[in-house]
Amino acid sequence: MALTPADVARLGELARVRLTEEELVHLAPQLDVILASVARVAEVAGADVPPTSHALPLTNVFREDVVTESLAADAVLAGAPSVEDGRFRVPRILGEEA
């Protein structure tokens, strides 16, 4: 199953985490060991066993349909890395060719 540093780099890009060359070389063998160990779960996961995604048997939890106070915009924007005209300022979202 050996994960290569290139595999890890691809996973990093999927997860939007830029990893350095050094990190890739360090992470690949570590992840291999971890994945080999956790893969044991397949030994007992028979087709007849239903999956559990959550410990509580809750579905469709709704709150009362009433208007409640929300946070003030300036309180929320105070934590933003960049703000312009009372809004979050973000880097460009379109590619060069757009």
Partner 1 sequence: MSGLLRAGAAELAGRIATGEVSAREVTAAHLDQIAGVDDRIKAFLYVDGTRALAAADAVDAKRAAGEELGPLAGVPLAMKDIFTMKGAPTTCGSRILEGWVPPYNSTITDKLLAAGVVVLGKTNMDEFAMGSSTENSGFFTTHNPWDNSKIPGGSGGGSAAALASFEAPLAIGTDTGGSIRQPASVTGTVGVKPTYGATSRYGVVAMASSLDTPGPCARTVLDAALLHQVIAGWDPRDATSINAPVPDVVAAARHADVAGMKIGVVREFGGDGYAPGVEQRFAEALAVLEGLGAEVVEVSCPHFDYALGAYYLIMPSEVSSNLARFDAMRYGLRVGDDGVNSVEEVMNLTRGAGFGAEAKRRIIIGTYALSSGYYDAYYGSAQKVRTLITRDFDAAFAQVDVLVSPTTPTTAFTIGERADDPLAMYKADLCTIPSNLAGNCAASIPCGLADGLPVGFQVMAPALADDRLYRVGAALEAELTSRWGGGLLDQLAESPSGAYLNVGGVR
Q: Which residues pair with 87 in a beta bridge?
A: 84
Integer Cα distance of 6 and 52 in angstroms: 33
Q: Output the smallest distance, CB 67 to partner 1, in A.
A: 15
Contact in structure between 11 and 32 (CB atoms under 8 Å) = no
Which pairs count as long-range contacts for 4-11, CB under 8 Å and 24+ apart, including other chains?
4/28
Q: Which is nearer to partner 1, 67 or 78 (CB)?
A: 78
The residues that touch partner 1, with contacts defined as CB under 8 A, are 3, 8, 11-20, 23, 27, 30-31, 33-35, 37-46, 49-56, 58, 61, 63-64, 71-72, 75-76, 78-82, 88, 90-95
Q: Output the smallest distance, CB 59 to partner 1, in A.
A: 10
Q: Output the smallest distance, CB 13 to partner 1, in A.
A: 7
* Backbone φ, ψ for residue 83 (5° rounding): -135, 145
